[in-house]
Amino acid sequence: MKATATSATTSTEPVPLLDLARENGPLEAEIAAAFDAVRRSGSFVLGPEVTRLEEALAQYCGTKHAIGCASGSDALLLALMAIDLAPGDEVIVPSFSFFATASCVWRLGAKIVFVDIDPVTFNLDPAQVAAAITPATRAIVPVHLFGQCADMEAINAIAAQHDITVIEDAAQAIGAELGGRRSGSLGDIGCFSFYPTKNLGGMGDGGMLTTSDDALADKLRLLRGHGMRPRYYHQVVGINSRLDSLQAAVLNVKLPHLDDWTRQRGENAVRYAELFAAAGLPADMVLPVDIAAGSAGRHVWNQYTVRVGGGQRDALRAHLRGESIGSEIYYPVPLHRQACFASVATAGGSLSITEQAAEEVLSLPIFPGLELTEQQRVVAAIGDFFASSQTERAA
């Protein structure tokens, strides 16, 4: 038994940012059996486990089709290939995201148009999306960052007005909901990642595309397998981006537990809010806001990301590291500031909210299985940091 006698403030147990052993541990025997079955089957790429996962995920997301692929990055690339994106075309993406959201546009020779985010949700600001539309705009890629859906109603309305494709980057948001519908079914194509740190993580790389458009689904299937149909006859130039049977087998074991893990993430978020309220929220700190709370929406909390103002974020992170508490900065350098995009991207308006976010964000442990005492320790350590930094400033 731990943490019965020790109070949260005196404990020195490390608190990891993410502990996959707590998630996978209880399923170890089931995962091992699934691995063994694949090993004996001799079917290692695509095959029955992948088909099973595709069917289950389509049902989970509420789409007609789901198409497995090698990663979330490839899902984004395949989605843009499926709409024949070409040089001269423009794609609107947030600059405050993981690299893959924009690199897929670059790889097809099209123009990246970076648009600023909403300061509360960190997601694309629809007003700025509307202002960035040109006759060359072919697609918008809203990212459901940290597990909260972008304002899809507004973005879809803009897209419909200009006949533009909407591709959801739902890599961090499997199971997230808006207006009673799930991510992956809110745009034309949804892109998911099974990278181990995502809410549904495999034991390696993996990805999935979702759509309810029959023609797009067919094209995505063709493109992920070298454009080959039938075997050794190539209709179009695709890529090799298939999902491994072993990954699908692990994910088939894990998917039935996803909603329970998501519920735990949500409970941990509520608990942080309570603990910070009880301890007194530091003046320079802003907690994440679940804008869907109480409505027909769901935040799935892939990350619990606070803002730390007053230029104190990096010092706080160092303090937490000293206390063996895990944290991470998603993302320290906005995409429009990346060296590789210096000459190829344009900004659709100011990116000041993005730049401020990059200086202030800090993600704290929220994974399923995180214990109350661990959250108390995180909150206490943050309280200690601000108490001593105030004393320093007063001195």
Ligand X SMILES: *Cc1c(COP(=O)(O)O)cnc(C)c1O
Burial class (CB in 10 A: 0-12, 13-18, 19+), 277: exposed
The residue whose two tokens read 């509420």 is 62
- Within a 10 A sphere around the Cβ of 244, how many other Cβ atoms? 22
Closest residue by beta carbon to ligand X: 72
Contact flag: residue 168 with ligand X (CB under 6 A): no
Region 174-233 residues binding ligand X, contact defined as CB under 6 A? 193, 195, 205, 207
Contact flag: residue 34 with ligand X (CB under 6 A): no
Residue 295 and residue 178 in contact, taking contact as beta carbons nearer than 8 Å:
no
Q: Which amino acid is at 364?
A: L
Taking the C-alpha atoms of residue 25 and residue 286, their distance in angstroms, rounded to an integer, is 34
Which of the stretches 83-91, 112-120, 168-176, 306-314 binds ligand X when contact is defined by CB under 6 A?
A: 168-176
DSSP string, 244-297: BHHHHHHHHHHGGGHHHHHHHHHHHHHHHHHHHHHH---TTEE----TTTTTT-
Strands 285-286 and 304-308: antiparallel
Provide the minimum distance between the beta carbon of 193 and ligand X in the complex, in angstroms, as a whole number: 3
Member of 151, 169, 188, 323 binding ligand X (CB under 6 A)? 169
Region 50-69 residues binding ligand X, contact defined as CB under 6 A? none
Member of 78, 141, 171, 357 binding ligand X (CB under 6 A)? 171
* Secondary structure letter of residue 242 according to DSSP: P
Contact flag: residue 71 with ligand X (CB under 6 A): yes
Provide the minimum distance between the beta carbon of 331 and ligand X in the complex, in angstroms, as a whole number: 9
Provide the minimum distance between the beta carbon of 363 and ligand X in the complex, in angstroms, as a whole number: 12
Provide the minimum distance between the beta carbon of 358 and ligand X in the complex, in angstroms, as a whole number: 15
Provide the minimum distance between the beta carbon of 147 and ligand X in the complex, in angstroms, as a whole number: 10
Residue 195 and residue 169 in contact, taking contact as beta carbons nearer than 8 Å:
no
Nearer to ligand X, 47 or 207 (CB): 207
- Whose CA is closest to 369, among 279, 283, 257, 274? 257
> Quick one: angle between helices 48-61 and 245-254, nearest 10?
40
Chain Cα centroid distance, residue 90: 23
**Site string (91-130) toward ligand X, x via CB under 6 A:** ------xx-xx-----------------------------
Which of the stretches 131-139, 165-173, 176-184, 287-295 binds ligand X when contact is defined by CB under 6 A?
A: 165-173
Nearer to ligand X, 96 or 276 (CB): 96
C-alpha gyration radius of the chain: 22
Nearer to ligand X, 74 or 188 (CB): 74
Nearer to ligand X, 103 or 211 (CB): 103
Member of 172, 199, 268, 303 binding ligand X (CB under 6 A)? 172
Residues lying near ligand X in the complex (CB under 6 A) are found at 71-73, 97-98, 100-101, 143, 169, 171-172, 193, 195, 205, 207
